[in-house]
């Protein structure tokens, strides 16, 4: 039972379920994912995801990650720092935002390029 999952699935798993793997837990994950997709906006799903995802050893949520890696609140992170935290996902135990490898720097730069494209699209 290992493989890719959507942000909604990860949110359902992290918010409503216990750690571990079983067919029962997977079934409940499908049920909660369905409810999340129906009842929550995409923005709310992303907000919840960013508040519960593990972003380092014992570090949960974007705010905690900002303090852990850069010793500042998330609101004070630069775009580069934010992108570096995003780049260590999905394996924040293996990689560190405060000591990025060449691979993480490459991912961070890709994220930064795409952040710029999104900002341009949002401008009227």
Please provide the DSSP assignment of 77-89 as one string. --HHHHHHHHHTT
Q: Are 69 and 56 in contact (CB under 8 A)?
A: yes
Is the overall model pTM greater than 0.75, yes or no? Answer: yes
Per-residue pLDDT of the chain (124 residues; tens, 9 = 90+): 455 689 999 999 999 998 888 999 999 999 999 999 999 999 999 999 999 999 999 999 999 999 999 999 999 999 999 999 999 998 999 999 999 999 999 999 999 999 877 655 555 5
> Please, are residues 52 and 89 in contact by the beta-carbon 8 Å criterion?
no
Cis ω on the peptide bond leading into residue 121 (within 30° of 0)?
Answer: no
Sign of CA dihedral 77, 6, 49, 13: negative
């Amino acid at each position: 039972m290992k493989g890719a999952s959507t942000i909604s699935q990860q949110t359902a798993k992290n918010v409503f379920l216990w750690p571990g793997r079983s067919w029962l837990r997977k079934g409940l994950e499908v049920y909660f994912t369905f409810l999340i997709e129906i009842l929550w906006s995409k923005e709310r799903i992303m907000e919840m995801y960013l508040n519960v995802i593990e972003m380092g050893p014992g570090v949960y949520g974007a705010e905690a990650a900002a303090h852990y890696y850069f010793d500042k609140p998330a609101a004070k992170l630069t775009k580069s720092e934010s992108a570096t935290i995003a780049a260590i996902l999905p394996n924040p135990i293996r990689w560190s935002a405060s000591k990025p490898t060449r691979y993480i720097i490459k991912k961070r730069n890709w994220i930064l390029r795409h952040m710029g494209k999104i900002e341009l699209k949002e401008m009227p």
